Amino acid sequence: MHKEILVIDDNPDIRYLVCNILEEQSFKVRTAANYDQAVLEINKRLPDLAIVDIKLDKPDKDGIDLLKLLIKKNKNTPVIMISGHATVKVAVEAIRLGAYEFIEKPFTKEKIINYVNRGLESSYLKKEKDIIENKLFHSFELIGESPDIIKIKKIINKLSSSESRILISGPTGSGKELVARKIHKNSLRLKEPFIIINAALLKEKTYEKELFGEEFEDGNISFGALERANKGTLLIDEVSEIPFDTQANVLRVLIDQKFKRVNGSNDINVNIRLISSTSKDLNQLVNDGKFREDLFHRLNVMPIELTSLTSRSEDIPFLIEYFQTKLSEINGVSKPNIDVKNNSLYTYNWPGNVRELRNLVERITILSSNESKEKINQLIDDILNPSSLISEEKNILTQSFQSPLKEAREHFEKEYLITQLKKHHGNISKTADFIGMERSALHRKLKSLGIKGIN
């Protein structure tokens, strides 16, 4: 299917020129000649890529506002900003807000084609990465044969036909989101949305907008998590982080099953199942006056408590076997030979719990799948007992293996590529050949990871 490009510029000559260039490359092109037309086209259907002029017909609305609208609707939509008289400050602001690239007028045919192709390629790679990570997480099972895990599995099965609100507590990385997903998949709402809002990642002033949505003067609507989860399940992760004032509004929704959007006047009725999770002691927060007692009792209808990995270390062999099989399949590499009897796996305190163990297996799967059991054992010992490493290496590894998978993977890739570049004395071509990557793709990867020339 041909990719669709939206060209927004109030100059008819520029629109005609850009359209001709793109149509010659077999792109499908839509155009907008002013701000209002652009908003209509964006709301009608998001393009695969947008080319937006900074200066348009409205004195108070410009291309930057359209950029914000496009990014709000889909952060992965590549937006190329163009201008003939913008300042460096404006260009920097556009990139900061999420623009893929900024082009000054006049521009050549080759430049516009190059940026469009690169923007679409970048968007494709982001989508593929999201799909892989989504499949990776969605496909995980609750693994283990310890009494704690057997108990959790039984609770999940009993909750399959229930509509009760659930509060999942447990340390970071113990699998709270995974349990919530399993409950949703076993419920009567399994074909409806499963929406997650992480209260710990939101800015204090944005909680209500993220939860309830917002209405704007121009008629646009930003749908909040409650509305997007209608008929399905909403997981509020780290619910303890919701500001005290906002907690009262959440309580009102649970009582009335309706709310108003920010700046809205009409009631929005919703039918959701609410699951909350926390890594903090909500009882203690209630006693300290930092969490509403009435909300706590509304959330804590069915409590589920997850334990740390060290308290169920008998599950470590099952988890390693599962992760190395699953991750080798997803990453298209051979299954590593991890020794599940390695003493370091059982003496380490696993501050990141199951997530940290998964990240460890991920690293070995990607970088050391063909190594011998002895070498992999040594790698595990070095990582989990970093006292044998120099101080700098110890700090980097400790930080990486307590990070989410996305951050840890980027660190692993950076470390691996720097090592290979040093081995090949900074020669890009030889490095690309050795690791099995196209030279141009390696250049892009090095740039994205911030790796500069190495001799």
Is the distance from CB of 234 to CB of 259 less than 8 angstroms? no
Domain range summary for the chain, segments of one domain joined by +:
4-127, 139-305, 315-448
CATH 3.40.50.300 fits 139-305, yes or no: yes
Res 232: pLDDT: 92
What's CA 424's distance to the chain center, in Å? 34
Q: Which of 61, 78, 63 is nearest to 8 (CA)?
A: 63
Res 326: pLDDT: 86
Res 392: pLDDT: 44
Is the distance from CB of 338 to CB of 320 less than 8 angstroms? yes
Six-digit token pair at 25? Answer: 């490359």
Spell out the residues 6+ positions from residue 269 whose beta carbon is closer than 8 angstroms to its own. 257, 258
- Cα–Cα distance, 326 to 258 (Å, whole number): 41
Is the distance from CB of 253 to CB of 227 less than 8 angstroms? no
CA terminus-to-terminus distance, the chain: 44
Res 134: pLDDT: 54
Res 1: pLDDT: 63
- Cα–Cα distance, 305 to 152 (Å, whole number): 8
- Cα–Cα distance, 315 to 143 (Å, whole number): 7
**CATH class of the domain comprising 4-127:** alpha beta
Res 399: pLDDT: 56
- Cα–Cα distance, 314 to 300 (Å, whole number): 29
Spell out the residues 6+ positions from residue 273 whose beta carbon is closer than 8 angstroms to its own. 163, 165, 184, 187, 189, 232, 233, 234
Tell me whether the omega of the peptide bond preceding residue 106 falls within 30 degrees of 0, making it cis: yes
Topology match between the domains 4-127 and 139-305: yes
Q: Which of 24, 127, 133, 150 is nearest to 75 (CA)?
A: 127
Res 390: pLDDT: 41
What's CA 302's distance to the chain center, in Å? 28
- Cα–Cα distance, 369 to 439 (Å, whole number): 24
Res 416: pLDDT: 77
Q: Which of 397, 393, 400, 442 is nearest to 417 (CA)?
A: 442
Spell out the residues 6+ positions from residue 158 whose beta carbon is closer than 8 angstroms to its own. none
Is the distance from CB of 8 to CB of 40 less than 8 angstroms? no
Query: What is the amino acid identity at position 271?
Result: N
**Which residues of the chain fall short of a pLDDT of 70?**
1, 86, 129-140, 386-408, 422-425, 453-455
Res 175: pLDDT: 92
β-partners of residue 258 are: 269
